[in-house]
Structure 1
């Protein structure tokens, strides 16, 4: 007998499996298309195996989910459509541009077909998926200095910090590569350090050097917050404040200063110490 905790685990497994398959497929497609231009000797076999295995695991998880919640006819319809496809290795790897716009990425057709069966459920809804992706983004940004260290990056300014982080984020949010927009004002276009169109999120980095006044940097971000006016509803902004040392203040005192500036509610601060 399945418990609610088991059902919650299944829902989590389905969403995470789909995300991981999409990530591997993005690398697979990009490497297959462009590795000859970079001279990189890419062997697609490992990615292909990972994609096919992931899709079969996802198929089984979805079948179990429909069975557990008692959707017998829905499950039968799902199996009738995919029982042959799931054993066809070539069909599992078919990617197409599923949207007509110029910047559309190649996506796995079978994942899109799976999704059509999952969209009626709350755990798979667009809003819930977007919120999970935003939490994943925050987790990656909180590991900024870890990424900098592992990529042997020498810190010289904000750009040197966010460049390797941007590279990592591109693996999860491919739309970063084609983000071109800014925020128009009368005399200037304000462009954030990183933009993630698919999340409707922009990221601004500040590097506070030893002995500097953190409050002045927060004031700079407040100016950005005033200038970053988007016509899109639900736009989010993240300010990553990276401090060279802990002498400049504690996380609590810096957050207190942030709150005293009355930032818009769609701004999220992240405080990191080198």
Structure 2
């Protein structure tokens, strides 16, 4: 059943649950597709098919976040949920920290958009690089706004 089949009153809440479930299962999706996740693009390109099947208004590689000096391009947009998704890929803890800091820049770049109000930062991290507990400590240390939600995915 596609996302459009739900009553409009509950679309957003149920849609966010569906989306979070898909994003948190990124590693499973990649494994099932037999993709070798060597970079950020391979990771989110694998997941976008599931998102596209669930959310018909899915948009990829758009440029809705124009600022004076730069245009910000989220990896996935779902207008019906007012959601933008940014994927990050890390093979070691130093790179993970750098990607978290990159999201800090996106916080300012994605702010004050008339449609997108909820932002997911999905961190696909090679197995053994970091634990969920360590990731939470790193993320919380940066004091992100509440409308930015991290999802830590332990990859292969």
Give TM-score scaled by structure 1 length. 0.52
Q: Are 1:245 and 2:105 matched, yes or no?
A: no
Q: Does 1:260 align with 2:141?
A: yes
SS in 2 for 1:174: coil
Higher relative contact order (CA 8 A, sep 6+): 2
- Counterpart position of 2:64: 182
- Asked whether 1:150 is paired with 2:150, we answer no
Divergent runs of 4+, >6 A: none
Q: Of the two, which has the highest radius of gyration? A: 1
Q: CA RMSD in A?
A: 2.3
Match of 1:207 in 2: 89
Q: Which has the higher strand share?
A: 2
Which structure: greater helix fraction? 1
Structure-1 separation of matches of 2:154 and 2:61:
29
Alpha-carbon separation, structure 2, partners of 1:232 and 1:177: 16
Unaligned runs of 5+ in 1: 1-19, 27-106, 116-123
* Alpha-carbon offset, residue 226 of structure 1: 1.8
Q: How many residues align?
A: 155
Whether 1:218 aligns to 2:100 is yes
Q: Deviations over 1:222-248 (max 9, x none)?
A: 1111211233267100000111122x3
Name structure 2 gaps, 5 residues minimum. none
